[in-house]
Amino acid sequence: MFLSVFDIFKIGVGPSSSHTMGPMVAGGRFLDALRAQPFRAHGLRASLHGSLAFTGKGHATDRATILGLAGFLPETMEAEAAEAVLAANRESHVLTPAGLGEMAFDPERDLIFDFDRALPGHANGMVLMATDAQGDVIFHETYYSIGGGFVMTEAELAAKGDDTRSDDAPKVPYPFANAAEMLAMAEKSGKSIAAMKRENERAYRSDAQISSGIKRIWQVMRDCMDRGLATGGTLPGGLSIRRRASGIHEALKAEAGMNQTAPHVINDWMSIYAMAVNEENAAGGQVVTAPTNGAAGVVPAVIRYWLDHVPGASERQLDDFLLTASAIGGLIKHNASISGAECGCQAEVGSASAMAAAGLCAVMGGTPEQVENAAEIALEHHLGMTCDPVRGLVQVPCIERNGLGAIKAVSAASLALRGDGQHFVPLDAAIETMRQTGRDMSEKYKETSLGGLAVNVPNC
């Protein structure tokens, strides 16, 4: 099994990797399929199902679907150009994707939120359609947004057969599919997890490409965090949630150097680093999926904590941090899920916390066994966490939850480093437990906003 570090960490836009980035990617794929057809279509239509329908408005799925069908992609989307296309479409009811000419699309009529019919493949399902001049459907494709910006067609999902957890397995030197295999390969090779992951990446990229790509990931993460730390005001969406990272950051800076500062204040630093990222994500800014947008703040917050607060930390070790984190994220995605709509927030913030704990443990000198232990501790103590966003927005409880996920990650890494790597619960057992828990969890608590905080907190 192999998932690239650049699959786990993707540059995109908020507020959701599965509900915003995924539908946009699906739109781009549909346009490519349409360009390959021998006929000319005259219109476009889309229906959203499951979680995409229930929380689509709050997650900007409607906007993302339209932009995807207009030809925008998450990594290259320019906000001003996107807003111009959306405004024009509201007036003209026309989209003009490259190479396909003008196509009719009335967002009031052609974008359907189907709350009654869930699609069988995944909780995040959508059907994209092309119509003829009379409005009849002449071509359609079903897409599933399976978390973290990953998208599969109905046929691609079916091709996996009963093993819905497997991914393509390209030939790489260290194709570990679970943590036990990862540790066995590390022991046999004498290599760290990051070194094995780098060897796998080398099957597709040069060392220079790997390092420059990782540097780009961290730059986008840091820029996002800095914007969040500098920006106040209120988040969009109607809940009137105040941005807090900036104000707390100013207070923490004013307190710096005071002898009376309590030791636990370091938790406030970790929290605001994460909250700054997720406030930007909630505002639709550029973020890095880590492994999702809803959990985008955890990994960069732990990196920032390490770089700014841990003696001896150096950006020269960023490759090791992110390669290690992506190895853990790949195992979780392969054997369980990183989708809140599939397994609740344990799959998002829980996965991110495990990844961050592993990365921090690695750069602080942890052995492969200690790294695996750190990831297990972090994931174990997120098991059962629901995804219940108020009004379907990636704000409450998502923003604070990232801060607590970062704190847990640092604590998990520290505990693992205090031991010798031997521990009772293997990471593989925690991952499988998360999968089973997600399978058994009520749909009300899996990104539908039909239960939990979403119904017990006034949101209007």
pLDDT 10s per residue in the chain (460 long)?
Answer: 899 999 999 999 999 999 999 999 999 999 999 999 999 999 999 999 999 999 999 999 999 999 999 999 999 999 899 999 999 999 999 999 999 999 999 999 999 999 999 999 999 999 999 999 999 999 999 999 999 999 999 999 998 754 444 444 568 999 999 999 999 999 999 999 999 999 999 999 999 999 999 999 999 999 999 999 999 999 999 999 999 999 999 999 999 878 788 999 999 999 999 999 999 999 999 999 999 999 999 999 999 999 999 999 999 999 999 999 999 999 999 999 999 999 999 999 999 999 999 999 999 999 999 999 999 999 999 999 999 999 999 999 999 999 999 999 999 999 999 999 999 999 999 999 999 999 999 999 999 999 999 999 987 5
pTM: 0.93
d(CA 306, CA 79): 32
Domain with CATH 3.30.1330.90 in the chain: 17-159
Nearest by Cα to 337 from 158, 143, 144: 144
Strand partners, 151: 145
Q: Do 406 and 302 form a contact (C-beta atoms < 8 A)? A: yes
Looking at the chain, the number of H-run helices and the number of E-run strands are 20, 9
Instruction: Tell which CATH classification among 3.40.50, 1.10.3470, 1.10.4100, 2.40.10 matches the domain 179-456.
Output: 1.10.4100
d(CA 45, CA 104): 9
d(CA 144, CA 260): 53
Q: Do 318 and 294 form a contact (C-beta atoms < 8 A)? A: no
Pairing of strands 137-147, 111-114: unpaired
d(CA 203, CA 339): 28
Domain with CATH 1.10.4100 in the chain: 179-456
CATH number attached to the domain at 17-159: 3.30.1330.90
